[in-house]
Amino acid sequence: MIIRFLVTSGVFLVLDGLWLGLIASRFYKAQLGGMMADKVNFLAAGIFYLIYVLALLYFVINPAVETGQVWQALWRGAFFGLAMYAAYDLTNLAMLKGWPVLVTVVDLVWGSAVTAATAALSTLIIKHL
């Protein structure tokens, strides 16, 4: 289980790090402006990644590894990512003044894509260990 956690964490952190650090950072700054914190709360981010990866393993990757179905990991990962990112973004859209609809749409697409890719890649790697 520790190896599965490390594999999945590594894949997710690399993909999400590329997205947040290189690709989308300007987008989020432009869209969220003053809502963004000056510094990242690494404790909160770490707790999110821990919970997210454990849930992804439990609900998506472990069942896919057991059946050997990478496609299962891909599609279930996409739906899992959509649901998890929707919980955050749609709550923000419902409750926060000025939360951009565009951020919600981009996050839902990204959440689905990054989680699908993480689930499929992690399943492939774990199957070959």
Look at residue 126 in the predicted model and tell me its pLDDT.
97
DSSP conformation class of 4:
H
Write the CA distances from 73 to 13, 18, 19, 26, 46, integer angstroms: 18, 22, 21, 31, 24
| Spatial distance between the Cα atoms of 73 and 84, rounded to a whole number of angstroms | 16
Look at residue 2 in the predicted model and tell me its pLDDT.
97
Look at residue 69 in the predicted model and tell me its pLDDT.
95
The low-confidence residues of the chain, meaning pLDDT below 70, are: none
Look at residue 102 in the predicted model and tell me its pLDDT.
98
| Spatial distance between the Cα atoms of 111 and 103, rounded to a whole number of angstroms | 12
pTM metric for this prediction: 0.95
